[in-house]
Amino acid sequence: MRRQRGFSLLEVIAAMLLLAIAFAALMKVAGGAIALSRNAAAHDEAALWARSLLDSAYVTEPLRPGSRSGEVDHRYRWQLDVAPWDPPGPRPQGAMLQLYKLDLTLRWGNHAHPQVARFSTLRLGGPPASGGQAP
């Protein structure tokens, strides 16, 4: 009698088990990649909103120290803090203009664990305020 060659049932089961483990690991990696991609898209959108908010801040009114906050696109909560900024070193005598630092904080996601992005820029304003009045 001739002996048949092939795989035994035990070998087939072991191969299927290894395939299932590899597939489960691959799905976990793919799920993580999707979550990272979604997170990167949210950060990109936040950066676009931040640029828009910083570009349009104080365009129609004089720049002055203070704080503002609001919501954009029903998802992003923002806070804009404005403060005078002086470069290091002595201030030139008779300076007619003041630099202001604009700090923008964007938050999104759930309130328990929000995602946060911070942006800063400098903007040239009118003469320095003589009393530090806030709006």
Tell me the backbone φ, ψ of residue 38, rounded to 5 degrees.
-65, -40
Q: Give the pLDDT confidence score for residue 2 in this predicted structure.
A: 66
Q: How far apart are CA 99 and CA 112, in angstroms?
A: 36
How far is it, in rounded angstroms, from Cα 86 to Cα 34?
Answer: 44
For 17-39, write each residue's pLDDT tens digit. 999 999 999 999 999 999 999 99
Amino acid (one-letter) located at 66: G
Quote the CA–CA distance of 48 and 81 in Å, as a whole number: 18
User: What pTM does this model have?
Assistant: 0.69
What are the tens digits of pLDDT across the range 91-114? 777 667 888 999 999 999 888 888
Average pLDDT, whole number, for the chain?
87
Distance from CA of residue 43 to its chain's centroid? Answer: 4
**DSSP class of residue 3?**
P
